[in-house]
Structure 1
């Protein structure tokens, strides 16, 4: 039975060598961002399944987490079997640990969990300065090429319009000349 004197929180069982690990800190950040309180305890236990199960059983929120054993993180619910945790994943990146913390909080809240990508969305969006310069240069070249093509098309259209206008003027001039000749002849005949 869980200790009812504790405040409602997610319990985290941490293997001793992970106490100062950045994965542990980021796991806690994920819980904090979701607004779920947590408590942790340091353990010498090498079985992280048992550690997660013990943490869940002691949590008033029925959710426990364990971290250790080659960067494995387990999220466990009190009602699940010890060998069938809610999530068990080997984590190599800090951002993944943060998502695991967020997912533990989401389990408490009863809302959908987040996928754990292999690559951080922020690192995908950050381009080193040299690549950014090359990308900008390529983008500017593409823009200039498009602008030149547009200018060429505009000139061709304007040239075509001018040619059509000249043809129309030539036709109009010829018609005016014919009409003038007809009027002159008609006047002579009168």
Structure 2
């Protein structure tokens, strides 16, 4: 499968410890994940100035994919994309998932999840969390 992440994405990598690869949020993508979801996640991170790279999948479920990606990333942040397009964002030092989106999430929310993965790296507040709080207040 050829997965293209778009601008700011270093494409599929075989090794996360490649010294030629700059630090990046790693995105572990199930082989059946929708390409549009991959593009939106990578575009969201790129909008925040953080590069991404596609890591070969280890596992089949979004959370396991994200856990592996976070553990391999020098930035300690990873995203897992499940076969249904579900998105899970994890930090290697946090026990649970930081963010989860169902497979039917609209493209704008998927892009926001990618941006939030980059915002974790930068130490900025997550926009998805703020958006959820605004929605529950109305």
TM exceeding 0.5: yes
Please give the alpha-carbon distance, in whole angstroms, between the structure 2 residues aligned to 1:26 and 1:48.
16
Between stretches 101-110 and 43-52, larger displacement belongs to 43-52
Please give the alpha-carbon distance, in whole angstroms, between the structure 2 residues aligned to 1:93 and 1:51.
21
Tell me, what secondary structure is at the counterpart of 1:12? strand
Q: Which has the greater radius of gyration?
A: 1
Q: 5+ unaligned residues in a row in structure 1: which ranges?
A: 119-190
- Say if 2:32 and 2:83, in contact at 8 Å, map to a contact too: no
How far 1:79 sits from its partner (Å)? 0.6
Partner of 2:42: 28
Divergent runs of 4+, >3 A? none
The two structures have a TM-score, normalised by structure 2, of 0.74
Partner of 1:97: 110
Count of residues in correspondence between the two structures: 114
Q: 5+ unaligned residues in a row in structure 2: which ranges?
A: 1-15, 133-138
Please give the alpha-carbon distance, in whole angstroms, between the structure 1 residues aligned to 2:58 and 2:68.
13
Tell me, what secondary structure is at the counterpart of 1:65? strand
The two structures have a TM-score, normalised by structure 1, of 0.55
| C-alpha RMSD of the superposition | 2.1
Q: Name the structure with the higher helix share.
A: 1
Please give the alpha-carbon distance, in whole angstroms, between the structure 2 residues aligned to 1:17 and 1:4.
26
Higher RCO (C-alpha 8 Å, min separation 6): 2
